[in-house]
A and B are shown apart, each in its own frame.
Chain A
Amino acid sequence: MSEILVLVEHADGDVKKVTLELLTKARSLGTPSAVFIGAGFEKAKDKLAEYGAAKVYVAESAELTGYVVAPKAELLAKLVAENAPAAVLVAATAEGKEIAGRLAIKTDSGVLTDAVDLKLDGDVFVAEQSIFGGSSVVHTAVTAGTPIIALRPNATPPFPEAAAAERVDVSVELSESAKLAKVLEKVAVAKGDRPELTEAAIVVSGGRGVGSAEKFSVIEALADQLGAAVGASRAAVDSGWYPHQSQVGQTGKTVSPQLYVACGISGAIQHRAGMQTSKTIVAVNKDPEAPIFELVDYGVVGDLFNVVPQATEEIAKRR
C-alpha cells in the first residue's frame, strides 16, 4: 500500500480530532504516516498508534514552530522529496491550508482545499468539495505532482485501527526565507471546557436576536447541556458580544456538525455559507419569515428567551 502523509494538528501533544479523521481516511486510501511537528510527541504517540499511523515522522525542533507556517511547509517538502508519498493530507484549517498551499509551490504539485470527501478512482485521488455555501457539489482532482489535499473537520467519522506508530526522527535545515515572519508571542483567550467549534458534534449559535454579551449565557447554558461548542453570527461578533474565534459563516469558520442549533439568527447567506452542510439543523427565531427556516429540520417560531431556557431545563430533567 502506498504511503500517505498526514500532518498532525495538535496543541503540545494533544492530538486534535480532525487528525484522527484524516488518519481514518488515509487508511482507506493507503498506509498513513503521521508527521508530527513541535513538542509533545510522547503524549501524542498512543493516539496516533490507535488510529493507524504506521510511522510517525517526528520533528521537534522549536525553530519549526517559531515562524508563521513556512518552516512546516519546508519540512513536508523534504519528506515528500525523500519518500515520494502518494498524497499529503492536512486539516482544512486556516494554517493547514496555508501549509498545503506553500507545499504545493515547493513540490510543483496541485492542491485541493476544503474537501469533504476523498476517494481513489484507479490511482487518481478525487476530492469532493461543497462550494457556494453548500449549494453546489464538485469533484476535483490534482493534475500534477503529489496530490495535496486539505480535508474539512467533521467530514470523516474517525474509528480506531491500531498500528505501530514507529518513530522516525526528521529534521530540516531551514532556508532564510522560511524564517521571515517570526512569532514573538502566542496569546490565548480563555476557552473553557467546551469542544472546539469546527470539531464539535453539536454547535449552538447565537445571533443578533441574543441582544447582548451578557445574554449569551442563555446560549452557553443550552450548549453545555448538549456538550456543544458555542458559535456566533457575524452580527453578534461585530457587536462585540462574542469573540471572533466563534464566528460561523463567511469570513469566519465553516462548521459541519451532526447538529446545529441557530438561536436568534436570521440566516443571511453569509451565515449559511458556514453551516449549511450541518447534518441536522434546528432554529429558534421570532420572525417566521427568517431565511434560516428554509434550511431547518426543525424550527420554532418564538422568543428565544422563552424557548431556549425551557429546552435547557427539559434536557436537564431528562438526564
Chain B
Amino acid sequence: MKIVVLVKQVPDTAADKRLDPDTLTVDRDAVDGLINEMDEFAIEEALQLIEKHGGEVTVVSMGPEDATDAYKKALQMGADKAVFLTDPALAGSDALATSYALAQVLRTLEFDLVILGSEASDARTSLVPALLAERLELPQLSFASKVEIEGGAIKINRLTDYGHDVVEAALPAVVSVVEKINEPRYPSFKGIMAAKKKPVETLDLAGASIDAALVGQGGSRSKVLDAAVAPPRSKGVIITDEGNGGADLVEFLAAKKFV
C-alpha cells in the first residue's frame, strides 16, 4: 500500500515564540525549527503499517525554503521519499489556505492512506485533518489512538471526551493520530546515512497546480488584526511547607472564596 505522511516544521516549543510585529506571522527566524512532535507518531504508524502490509511511505511537507528538518527526520526514520512544497507565496496561509495547498499536492500523488499528527504544536488548531478530508472527499478518521487495516477497509479508535468511538471506512482515507498510538523510533545511524540518498522532489505553486490567489495572506479567509505579548502574571506568594502548608493553602483559597 502507498502511504503519504504529512509533516510540519514548527518552532521549538520550549523557545519563546512571538509574532513578528510587522507581518503578524510567526517569527520563525527567532527560534529553531524542528519536526512537530506529533508527526513522529504519524511516521511511526506509517512505517509499522508498511512493515505489516508492504508498500512505501512518501513524506510531504510544506514550509519556508529552509524548513527541511521535518521531512529529513521522516526520511531518517524510514520514509522512502519526500515531496517538499515551498514557495514564498505560501507565507501567511491560514489553516484553510494550507489545507487547499496540501490537498493540491495530494492530488498529484497516488495513495491509500494519508496520515498526519492530530495537532501542530505551534497553532494547535487541529483543523487540517478534517479540512483535507473535506477537500478530498475522503473519510475523516481523526484523533486515532489505534489503526487496523484489513483488505480495503480501515478501522480506528477515535478518542473522544467520553472515551472513544470505533470508526470504520473504506480506503483511501485521511487519518490523524494522537501520541498514545505508538512509540516513535529513533533514526539509526544507517537510517541517517541512507536518508541522504533518498529522493526529494521540491514543488512550487505551479508544480502543484496551486492558484496563488487562494494561498498566502491574500488567499486566507481570516486575518490577524493585532498582536501583543500578554501581560506577565503578577508575582505570587510562595511558601515552604513546615508542617502547615496545606492549611495555609486553604487559608489562601478561602480568602479567594474558593472554599
Find chain B residues with CB under 8 A from A281 CB. Answer: 233, 236
Flag B128-143 by CB within 8 Å of A: 1 or 0 each.
0111011101111111
CB distance from B156 to the nearest CB of A (A): 9
Query: Is B206 interfacial (CB 8 A cutoff)?
Result: no
Flag A48-81 by CB within 8 Å of B: 1 or 0 each.
0000000000000000000011100100000000
Q: Chain B interface mostly helix, strand, loop or mixed?
A: mixed
Query: Is A134 interfacial (CB 8 A cutoff)?
Result: yes
Q: Tell me if A93 and B259 are in contact (CB < 8 A).
A: no
Query: Is B185 interfacial (CB 8 A cutoff)?
Result: no
Query: Is A224 interfacial (CB 8 A cutoff)?
Result: no
Find chain A residues with CB under 8 A from B237 CB. Answer: 297-299
Q: Tell me if B13 and A185 are in contact (CB < 8 A).
A: no
CB distance from B236 to the nearest CB of A (A): 4
Query: Is B127 interfacial (CB 8 A cutoff)?
Result: yes
User: Which of A98, A141, A142, A145 is close to B142, meaning CB atoms less than 8 Å apart?
Assistant: A98
Residues 7 to 53 of chain B near chain A (Cβ within 8 Å): 13-14, 16-19, 24, 37-38
Interface-side segment among B58-66, B78-86, B158-166, B189-197: B158-166
Interface size class of A (residues with CB under 8 A): 35 or more
Complex: A187 Cα to B138 Cα, angstroms: 24
Residues 204 to 227 of chain B near chain A (Cβ within 8 Å): 220-227
Interface-side segment among A19-27, A28-36, A111-119: A111-119
Flag B220-244 by CB within 8 Å of A: 1 or 0 each.
1111111111100110111111011
Query: Is A181 interfacial (CB 8 A cutoff)?
Result: yes
Q: Tell me if B167 and A301 are in contact (CB < 8 A).
A: no
Q: Tell me if A181 and B249 are in contact (CB < 8 A).
A: no
User: Which of A70, A185, A313 is close to B165, meaning CB atoms less than 8 Å apart?
Assistant: A185
Q: Tell me if A68 and B19 are in contact (CB < 8 A).
A: no
Find chain A residues with CB under 8 A from B138 CB. Answer: 180
Q: Tell me if A111 and B95 are in contact (CB < 8 A).
A: yes
Find chain B residues with CB under 8 A from A244 CB. Answer: 145, 159, 178, 180
Complex: A200 Cα to B246 Cα, angstroms: 22
Residues 294 to 319 of chain A near chain B (Cβ within 8 Å): 295-303, 306-315, 318
Query: Is B245 interfacial (CB 8 A cutoff)?
Result: yes
Find chain A residues with CB under 8 A from B167 CB. Answer: 68, 181-184
Q: Chain A interface mostly helix, strand, loop or mixed?
A: mixed
Query: Is B202 interfacial (CB 8 A cutoff)?
Result: no
Complex: A302 Cα to B131 Cα, angstroms: 47
Query: Is B56 interfacial (CB 8 A cutoff)?
Result: no
Query: Is A239 interfacial (CB 8 A cutoff)?
Result: no
Known: A68-B158, A136-B18. A111 touches B239 (CB 8 A): no
CB distance from A130 to the nearest CB of B (A): 7
Q: Tell me if B225 and A126 are in contact (CB < 8 A).
A: yes
Complex: A144 Cα to B213 Cα, angstroms: 13
Closest to A308 in B: B246
Find chain B residues with CB under 8 A from A288 CB. Answer: 238, 240
Q: Tell me if A137 and B246 are in contact (CB < 8 A).
A: no
Q: Tell me if B222 and A142 are in contact (CB < 8 A).
A: yes
Complex: A177 Cα to B140 Cα, angstroms: 10
Query: Is A105 interfacial (CB 8 A cutoff)?
Result: yes
Known: A105-B135, A284-B249, A306-B241. A298 touches B236 (CB 8 A): yes
Query: Is A85 interfacial (CB 8 A cutoff)?
Result: no
Query: Is B253 interfacial (CB 8 A cutoff)?
Result: yes
Closest to A196 in B: B161
Closest to A149 in B: B222
Q: Tell me if A136 and B140 are in contact (CB < 8 A).
A: no
User: Which of A191, A269, A312 is close to B162, meaning CB atoms less than 8 Å apart?
Assistant: A191
Q: Tell me if B239 and A299 are in contact (CB < 8 A).
A: yes
Query: Is A102 interfacial (CB 8 A cutoff)?
Result: yes
Q: Tell me if A98 and B139 are in contact (CB < 8 A).
A: no
Find chain A residues with CB under 8 A from B180 CB. Answer: 244
Closest to A106 in B: B134
Chain A positions within 8 Å of B, measured between CB atoms, are 11, 68-70, 73, 93-95, 97-98, 100-102, 104-106, 108-114, 126, 130-132, 134-145, 177, 180-189, 191, 196, 202, 226, 244-245, 250-251, 254, 258-259, 269-270, 273, 280-282, 284, 288, 293, 295-303, 306-315, 318
- Supply 4 further A-B pairs (C-beta < 8 A) apart from A113-B125, A138-B226: A104-B221, A139-B227, A140-B223, A184-B166
- The 10 A-B residue pairs with the shortest CB-CB distance, nearest first, are A310-B246, A302-B241, A110-B221, A180-B139, A311-B246, A98-B130, A181-B139, A299-B238, A110-B222, A314-B250
Could you list some 10 contacts between A and B, CB below 8 A?
A: A98-B130, A142-B222, A180-B137, A186-B162, A186-B166, A191-B162, A244-B178, A293-B238, A296-B238, A314-B250
